[in-house]
Amino acid sequence: MSDYKQINYEQRETSIQITLNRPEKRNALSAELIGELKRAFAQAAAEDTTRVVILRAAGPDFCAGADLAQLERVSQAGILENLADAEQFADLLVQIRRLPQPVVAAVHGRAFAGGAGLATACDLVIATKSARFSYTEVKIGFVPAIVLAFIRRNLPEKRAFEVLTTGKIWSSEEAERLGFVNRVVEDEDFESAITKVIEEYAAVSGSAVALTKSLLYQIDAMTFEQAMRAGVEMNAIARMTPDCQNGIRRFLGKTGDRQG
């Protein structure tokens, strides 16, 4: 859309690419940028042909965290204003989780503080070898509170504690070993790696992926029995989708040909 000023929104055949576009500010998270991202993800959610959303960034860094002007406002604001401001970022991260399509963070350069949180909230993270991740909030007396829920679901407890409380800068390969990066690629292979993940999701059922994503993120707070029941219900729903019914017909046709 032409009225986006701090992001680029590009719809392709089976994917949408949302690009943070404040390179002169290292794509720092301003209130305006967060608002535009929320609108962009809402727009993407309504696109039936989109199989995957790629979140990436212009310039040398993915996202440096909160905008300096935003931090200055935080230091001067009262509790109600700070609550409202924090809720905007939280709403964005929850929106990513609820999007029917998988969201892939394509990270190069630095992803620090809220920028690391933004990447971690995505369903998959692809990073270049030169990418760096850090939850730097503790260095200025701040708490990575909103993104903590995502890190805790990505990492074991002791690893999560270390990542969130040391302010250490992690290489992309270290982040992959810890578990909050899925794939690390050579810098020169970054674009081809993004193309590959788009092709992977174009080759599978969009409705099946959406239902799987929904179920996966629902079961965190469930007992085993509740999770099994939710699985039974989702299984029944999946059977009724056109993708599943057409897929079964194709499978049975191929099986019939072999038996004949």
Q: Active-site positions?
A: 137
Name the maximum alpha-carbon separation found in the chain.
Answer: 77
Helix (H) or strand (E) run with residue 249 in it = helix 242-259
DSSP code at position 221: G
CA distances 257 to 43, 130, 247, 260, Å, are: 43, 50, 15, 5
Whether the Cβ atoms of residue 186 and residue 128 lie closer than 8 Å to each other = yes
Residue 46 CA neighbour count, 13 Å, CB half? 5
Burial of residue 221, with CB atoms counted within 10 A of its CB: 0-12 exposed, 13-18 middle, 19 or more buried: exposed
